[in-house]
Amino acid sequence: MRSTHRRSRSSLRLIAIATSALLLLPTGGKFLAQFPGQTPVVKGPWQDKSKTPDERADLLIAQMTLDEKVSLLHGPGFARIFRAPGVEAPTISLGNAGYIPGIARLGIPDLQMADAAVGVTHGSAFGRYCTVLPSGESEASSWNTDIAREYGKLIGTELREQGYTMSLGGGIDLAREPRNGRIFEYKGEDPILAGTLVGAEMKALQEQGVMGDIKHYAMNDSENGRSFVDIIADKRAMRESDLLAFEIGVKESGVSAVMCSYNLVNHDYACENDWLLNDVLKKDVGFQGFVISDWGATHSTVKAVMAGLDMQMPEDTYLGDALKKAVQDGQVPASRVDNMVHRLLRSEFAVGLFDRPLSRTAVDPNPGLEVAEKVADEGTVLLKNANGQLPLSASGIKSIAVIGSHADVGVLSGGGSAQVDAPGGNAVTRAGGNQQFGGAVWDPSSPLRAIRNKAPDAQVQYNDGSDPASAADLAKSADVAIVFVNQHTSEGRDVSGLSLPEKQDDLVSAVAAANPHTIVVLETGGAVTMPWVDNVSAVLAAWYPGIRGAQAIADILFGDVNPSAKLPLTFPKSEADLPHPTLATQPPPGPGDLKAPFPGSSFRMNTRQFEINDDEGVKVGYKWYDAENKQVLFPFGYGLSYTTYAYSDLKVTQGSSPSVSFEVKNTGSRAGAEIAEVYVGLPASANEPPKRLVAWQRVELAPGESKTVTLEINPHYMSIFDEQKSAWELAPGDYKVMVGGSSRTLPLSGTFNVPGM
């Protein structure tokens, strides 16, 4: 979310001070209950739970002054939130990502915001435990809304237990640029998959009594130069890709907030882009919550407010005194400010912030460990398994070589504002303090130990992989070699390429040459190239697997878990096959550019903008590779199992709201779960890529068992956006239905017709 500045270590160690002083209320309100440091509950007509959140918000707004309204629409500034030396900090701020004080006389609660994309950040800074969940890509690889709900429920629970009232997670920018440093936070390259999963996650999070957020709106598909890159894209392409993901997520979750991004879109900053915020999000999608700026992404007062921005964070530069003056001068209607406040308050009422008093408590780590392991179990993708190399037999293996990626002590995590503190500190350096914007952090979950536990009678030896020749010597003497490789990714920078860094490709090649039974475990934020793939026997994509990642990896290696995950994004063969083979970079710094934004008031490091033309249009992810007829390393929707599945008996119901039914049979000897995928090819007149995902279902099957799967196809997911009419339409003509286990393994096909008007 925020730029990769390093916060002072001392500021992050400060514990929020909860004041126990009672606040006096003016005539008309009195205390019902108060927790020390908590905004008191005040009697008033807006506390009538029989009224709708909108009615309650309007009743409360009627009691507010202009100063009070404006005070809810901005943060207190970087230096105060992040407690810069010599700067007075809010005494009741919990000191995470953001804070806006409430209004005690009206019982309006404080906004305590926490970064929480893959778990609640800064837990160890306050002596609190927070679960390090697997990455968003791991969650997305499950293709399972039940997993997404558990993911969101856990984050919401741990937020509330620590006194936070708002999450800043929920990233779903599509993987247009596979070198994006934040892909690990997101949910793949397909808008329907990403939108559905984030919708389930945010709905479950908000059910815990905290507000959710979906970000970064919109087209924030890379990190390099993110504060001044201008994305040039046509409206149809955006509506059918990134914006469709947001639309689905918002509608399915009722999420409280949408965070607008740093970048420009068609020459207007996203946080002052009238078409994005007003026309699409608030009017077409019907978003009822508030638009919050990314940290430092606000650039104006009147333009931003009238374009649909509702809250500036973390500063008050534009939506503080400047907004009040704009109202007084008639540049911003008072009704617009009322609408901004209404959107915030109705969201607070909707999730119960007024009705469920907060209290801080220690987080119970056990539920989090269970959820983290379940997500990693269902999110680890088996990419290759030649000659049944996996699962390993603990009784049949005498020696195992474990090599590389600090697998003796931990598993890798992604960096930036999504970095959840590793319990006990970085497993590699054992250093505490601020982990977010430093180097790579390994969570203390040891694959070496987990593998030894699975094979107690085998000799399991470790080599750090720094010397390929030494690693190959160890591998040569072992029955099986397991090579752990990684690519660290982080907010604020894209990776320079898709190749594994630090000559890890050479390491894998050397080990594979020494031992034909070489297994590779990938700990990456997204796709990587694999020049050695033909020479290894098995490959697992573990992503960033979280605090129970080692146990999940070992469970799959030894067959205690039958893998079922499918890729939420394409692994290309090479960067030459990408829509933009050359990585976009920011312009070099010029005279006067800001180098260190903290503790200043903006992340805008310079104002010299440059453009990226997303001329691939609607061809995002697998749609690009299909339309351009490119071979890929591993396709979207792909993933292997320790059993096999067969598809048969497709039936298609005709009409503008068609349904499909088909049989899936487990043809192997192990119980497993298959993710059955349904794609539709539109009529040629639509001028679309060959197919798009429209539905899927996870099917659990015993050996030899068959089940009938029936799925309805949402007409919206088959529609195209007519830019001239500014409307969605179903193109008349013949539609092809394709069903199978990946976007490029679709054994069943049929057709249906949508008649013309």
What was the pLDDT predicted at 68?
98
DSSP 3-state of 193: helix
Q: Which two tokens stand for residue 80?
A: 């105060």
pLDDT in tens, 462-498: 999 999 999 999 999 999 999 999 999 999 889 999 9
Q: Are 203 and 211 in contact (CB under 8 A)?
A: no
What was the pLDDT predicted at 23?
25
**Residue 591 burial (CB < 10 Å; 0-12/13-18/19+)?**
exposed
| Cα 376 to Cα 247: distance, rounded to the nearest angstrom | 27
Give percent of the chain with pLDDT exceeding 90.
80
Confidence of residue 140 (pLDDT cuts 50, 70, 90): very high
Confidence of residue 27 (pLDDT cuts 50, 70, 90): very low
pLDDT in tens, 220-230: 988 988 888 99
> Per-residue pLDDT for 187 more than 60?
yes
Supply the DSSP string of 219-258, one letter for each residue.
Answer: T----TTTTTEEEE--HHHHHTTHHHHHHHHHHHH--SEE
pLDDT in tens, 566-605: 999 999 999 999 999 987 766 555 443 333 333 333 344 4
- Domains along the sequence of the chain with CATH: 643-754 (2.60.40.10)
What was the pLDDT predicted at 38?
62
What was the pLDDT predicted at 5?
31
pLDDT in tens, 99-126: 999 999 999 999 999 999 999 997 655 5
pLDDT in tens, 316-369: 999 999 999 999 999 999 999 999 999 999 999 999 999 987 777 777 888 999
Confidence of residue 4 (pLDDT cuts 50, 70, 90): very low
Q: Are 353 and 211 in contact (CB under 8 A)?
A: yes
Across the chain, what does the average pLDDT equal? 89
Angle at 434 between CA 296 and CA 553, to 5 degrees: 105
What was the pLDDT predicted at 693?
98
Residues ≥6 apart with Cβ < 8 Å to 232? 266, 611, 612, 613, 614
- Lowest-confidence region among 293-297, 317-321, 606-610: 606-610
What was the pLDDT predicted at 586?
60
What was the pLDDT predicted at 156?
96
Mean pLDDT of 415-444: 79
Give percent of the chain with pLDDT exceeding 70.
88
Look up tokens 């497709």; give the residue: 650
Angle at 166 between CA 282 and CA 304, to 5 degrees: 40
Look up tokens 């979280």; give the residue: 546
Q: Beta-strand (E) ranges in 687-732? A: 692-701, 706-712, 720-722, 727-729
Give the global pTM. Answer: 0.92
How many Cα neighbours within 13 Å face the side chain of 615?
5
Residues ≥6 apart with Cβ < 8 Å to 360? 18, 161, 162, 163
Q: Which two tokens stand for residue 286?
A: 């019907």
Mean pLDDT of 161-174: 94
Closest listed residue to residue 11, CA positions, set 92, 82, 64: 82
pLDDT in tens, 367-401: 999 999 999 999 999 999 999 999 999 998 999 99
> Per-residue pLDDT for 705 more than 80?
yes
pLDDT in tens, 193-216: 999 999 999 999 999 999 999 999
**Amino acid identity at 603:** F
Confidence of residue 548 (pLDDT cuts 50, 70, 90): very high
Q: Regarding predicted confidence, which is higher, 622 or 21?
A: 622
Q: Are strands 264-265 and 268-269 parallel, antiparallel or unpaired?
A: antiparallel
What was the pLDDT predicted at 39?
66
Supply the DSSP string of 18-68, one letter for each residue.
Answer: PP-PPPPPPTT--BS---TTSPPPB-SGGG-TTS-HHHHHHHHHTT--HHH
Residues ≥6 apart with Cβ < 8 Å to 78? 84, 295, 296, 314, 315, 597, 598, 599, 600, 601
Q: Between the CA of residue 304 and those of 142, 268, 298, 308, what are the distances in Å?
A: 38, 10, 7, 6
Confidence of residue 306 (pLDDT cuts 50, 70, 90): very high
